């Protein structure tokens, strides 16, 4: 398969992913040369309390100029980690996937192919078969329905951690959420700005190391708060609501 794009920033939000980080970055460094002419790997360590930061530092030292580290001394939440990843990215296309290795970096080729064929500024994955516990699948179904009903966000898998953006479409976007609602808010605002979003199915794999935090009650409640905060803001003043938050770039 020919190289698909000229340059790509790929970042990983990570929190306590000591066991996953080394094989994930090794996988990225093996796959990215087949996808882009120029590339960079950005590790966003979101206040990890295990050995994630030490592993990341060794990877940066071993791959200078290719692997970079953004470190939060305190945990800022999933959206906060995504925010730092977007801000750190320097290349024309920006992609991310999570540090838990439930997606394969090589499958970014699926998104890149669709992006190129359809000239899509945003391409997002949806999990073909979600390899998560039942409680997370139930939450996801309810959340997907709520986003469709209250925001008309007709995306099959809002929180699929396999997304690709042309960096230019992020330039005028501001996001208020620093939690699990970040991805939905981003897609809602891109759609409102008339940005086309394409979707493609991607494989999903069970977590084999570390532990997930996305189903914690505190995470869910914060997402619910941010969800309704945006919904009420849109009812009050749509234009002001679409501008609220901190700029991504």
In this model, does residue 144 exceed pLDDT 80? yes
Evaluate whether 47 touches 237 at the Cβ level (below 8 Å). Answer: no
* Nearest CA-CA partner of 176 in 242, 127, 124, 238: 242
**For 61-77, how does the pLDDT look when each residue is reduced to its tens digit (9 = 90+)?**
999 999 999 999 999 99
> What whole-number distance in Å separates Cα of residue 155 and Cα of residue 145?
10
In the chain, pLDDT over 70 holds for what percent of residues? 97
pLDDT of residue 211: 64
Residue 209 CB neighbours (<10 A): 12
In this model, does residue 210 exceed pLDDT 70? no
> What whole-number distance in Å separates Cα of residue 187 and Cα of residue 38?
27
Which ranges in the chain belong to alpha helices (H)? 18-31, 52-62, 78-88, 108-118, 134-151, 182-192, 217-236, 238-243
Sign of CA dihedral 189, 195, 196, 201: negative
pLDDT of residue 217: 81
Provide the whole-model pTM.
0.95
Evaluate whether 217 touches 179 at the Cβ level (below 8 Å). Answer: no
pLDDT of residue 3: 75
Question: Could you tell me the CATH superfamily of domain 5-247?
Answer: Spore Coat Polysaccharide Biosynthesis Protein SpsA; Chain A (3.90.550.10)
* Nearest CA-CA partner of 132 in 30, 213, 44: 213
User: How high does pLDDT run on average in the chain?
Assistant: 94
Q: How confident is the model at residue 145 (pLDDT cuts 50, 70, 90)?
A: very high
**For 73-127, how does the pLDDT look when each residue is reduced to its tens digit (9 = 90+)?**
999 999 999 999 999 999 999 999 999 999 999 999 999 999 999 999 999 999 9
Q: H/E/C letters for each residue in 166-215? A: EHHHHCCCEECCCCCCHHHHHHHHHHHCCCCEEEEEECCCCCCCCCCCCC
pLDDT of residue 208: 83
pLDDT of residue 171: 94
Give 108's strand partners.
Answer: none
pLDDT of residue 2: 66
Mean per-residue pLDDT, 48-59: 97
């Amino acid at each position: 398969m020919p190289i698909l794009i000229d340059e790509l920033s790929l970042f990983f939000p990570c929190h306590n992913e000591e066991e996953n980080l080394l094989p994930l970055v090794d996988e990225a460094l093996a796959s990215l040369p087949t996808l882009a002419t120029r590339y960079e790997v950005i590790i966003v360590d979101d206040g990890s309390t295990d050995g994630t930061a030490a592993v990341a530092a060794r990877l940066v030292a071993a791959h200078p100029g290719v692997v970079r580290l953004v470190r939060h001394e305190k945990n800022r939440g999933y959206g906060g980690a995504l925010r730092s990843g977007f801000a750190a990215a320097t290349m024309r296309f920006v992609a991310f996937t999570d540090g838990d290795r439930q997606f394969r970096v090589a499958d970014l080729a699926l998104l890149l192919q669709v992006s190129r064929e359809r000239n899509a500024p945003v391409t997002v994955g949806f999990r073909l078969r979600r390899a998560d516990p039942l409680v997370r699948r139930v939450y996801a179904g309810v959340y997907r329905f709520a986003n469709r009903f209250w925001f008309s966000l007709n995306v099959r898998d809002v929180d699929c951690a396999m997304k690709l953006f042309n960096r230019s479409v992020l330039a005028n976007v501001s996001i208020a959420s620093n939690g699990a609602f970040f991805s939905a808010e981003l897609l809602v605002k891109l759609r409102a700005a008339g940005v086309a979003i394409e979707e493609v199915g991607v494989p999903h794999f069970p977590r084999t190391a570390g532990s997930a935090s996305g189903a914690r009650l505190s995470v869910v409640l914060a997402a619910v708060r941010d969800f309704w905060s945006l919904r009420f803001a849109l009812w009050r003043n749509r234009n002001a609501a679409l501008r609220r938050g901190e700029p991504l770039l």
